[in-house]
Amino acid sequence: MPDAGRPKSPLSLSAAERAALNHLATGTAASPAMRQRARIVLVCAEGRSNKDVADALAVTPGTVGKWRRRFLRMGMAGLDDGMRSGRPRMVDRVRLGAVTAGSMAGSGQAAQPTGRSAADGSSARPRARSTDQGIGDEADERLPPTREVAAAYGVSQSTVVRRRREERLGYRSGGGLALRSTQPVPAQTTENELLSERVYEAIRGWILSGELAPGMRVVESEIARVLGTSQTPAREAVRRLAHEGLVTYQPRLGNFVTEISQVEAREAREVRVLLESAAARRATGRVPEHELDLLRTEVRLMTEAAEHHDIGAFREADLRFHRQVLATSGNSMLLRVWRTLEPALWSLQVVSNAMYAGDWGLMARRHLDLVLALAGNDPEDAVRLFAAHARGESSITRPAVRHD
C-alpha cells in the first residue's frame, strides 16, 4: 500500500528559486511568517512528506500542504499574503490603495459615515487620523477611512491598510520579490495601445532589469494581479516573450525566465563564426541577383519589425537571412550543420539577442553591408564582415576594411 504521507505533487526548485528561498529563510529583512514559509518550501523540495516537514518545523501538516500548493501554483509569488480564499481576486490594487473620498462619492460607493447622521442636526463623530491613510496632512484629508473603503470594495480593512502602504512605498509585494510599481494597465489608452502590449512591456522590463531573474517562475495569475488585469493579456504577453526567447516553458512546471549559459552561448557563437565565414568565402561574387533580392527582402522585414518593436519577428527574419546565406554557399553540409545549430542559436540568443538594448534599426541596416559584401568580389572582406557580425561587433559599427 503506498505511503499516504508522501506528497501528491512533486516540488522542484530552479537555482534562482532556491537562492531566493534561502535568502528569505535566513535573512532578517523578511517577516517571521515569510521566513517560515520559505523553510517549508525548501524542506518540501527534499521530497519529504507533509507530516515529516510539519514535524521538522513544528507546524501542522495542513500548513505545509497549503504553502506547498501555493508554491506549485504560483511560484515565489504564492508565498505572498496578497491573495486569500474568500476575497475578490481581481480587485484593482492601485485603485483600492489610492481611492479618495471624492472618487468614492462620485461612483456612489461611499459608505455612510460613522457616528450620528448629520440629518438629525448634529455633527458626525470626527475621524481619527491614521498614518496608514497617506503621507502628510494633505493625504489624510483625501483618503476616506479604511472601514468605508473595505465596505465599498468587499475586502477587509487590513487589506486596505496593506495596499495603501504598498502604494506609499512604491512597490507591490511578490512573494519576496519587489516588482517595481507601474501604474495599472488601463483597458484603453489615449494611443489605443493593446492591453497585452502594455503588459508585455511591463514583464519585459522586469526581466531586463533583473527583478525577474533568470530561472525565476513567471506566473500569469500573479502578473495579472500585480498589473490589475485579467489573465488573458498576461498569457498573451508571456507567450510573446517565450517566442522571443526571454521566457522558457517547461512541461508540467510552467514558464520561467530563460537561463542563458554564458559558456554555451560563447561556444555557439564560435561555431556560428566558423560556419558563416566559410559560407561567405564560398558565396562572395557568386550569388545570383534573385537570391540577393531574397536577402534584401529579409532586411526590409527586419527594418519593419524594428519600427514596430516586434523583436520576435525581427529574430525570425534575421535567422531566415543567415539561413539563406548558408544556402547560397553551395555547400549542403554547411547548411545542414547550421540547421542543427539553429535551435541553440535561438534559445541562447546568439542571433539577434532579445536583451539587446541598442538600435534595432541600425542592426537591420548592418545586414545590407553583408549583402553588399556578398555581391562584391573580395571574399576576405566578406569573411571579415560576417565574422564580426557573428561575434556581435557589427551592431555598433562596420569593421574597418583591410589595408594592404
Q: Mean pLDDT lowest for which of 62-66, 189-193, 216-220, 292-296?
A: 189-193
> For residue 389, what pLDDT is reported?
92
Q: Identify the residue with better confidence: 260 or 107.
A: 260
List Cβ neighbours of 96 (8 Å cut-off, separation of 6 or more).
Answer: 149, 153, 155, 159, 160, 163
Rounded to the nearest 10 degrees, what angle do helices 332-347 and 311-328 cross at? Answer: 160
List Cβ neighbours of 280 (8 Å cut-off, separation of 6 or more).
Answer: 325, 329, 373, 374, 379, 382, 383, 385, 386
CB atoms within 10 A of CB 22: 14
> For residue 75, what pLDDT is reported?
76
Q: Identify the residue with better confidence: 105 or 77.
A: 77
pLDDT in tens, 216-231: 889 888 888 888 888 8
- Alpha-carbon span 356 to 360, nearest angstrom: 8
Q: Predicted confidence band at 274 (pLDDT cuts at 50, 70, 90)?
A: very high
* Mean pLDDT on 258-287: 91
pLDDT in tens, 298-326: 999 999 999 988 888 899 899 999 999 99
In the structure grid, which three cell numbers stand for residue 2, read together?
503506498
Cα angle for residues 364, 370, 375 (degrees, 5° grid): 135
Q: Mean pLDDT lowest for which of 77-86, 263-272, 351-360, 395-404?
A: 395-404
Q: Mean pLDDT lowest for which of 185-194, 238-247, 341-350, 368-377?
A: 185-194
- Alpha-carbon span 230 to 149, nearest angstrom: 22
- Alpha-carbon span 329 to 327, nearest angstrom: 5
Pairing between β-strand 177-180 and β-strand 217-218 as defined by DSSP bridges:
unpaired
DSSP secondary structure letter of residue 145: P
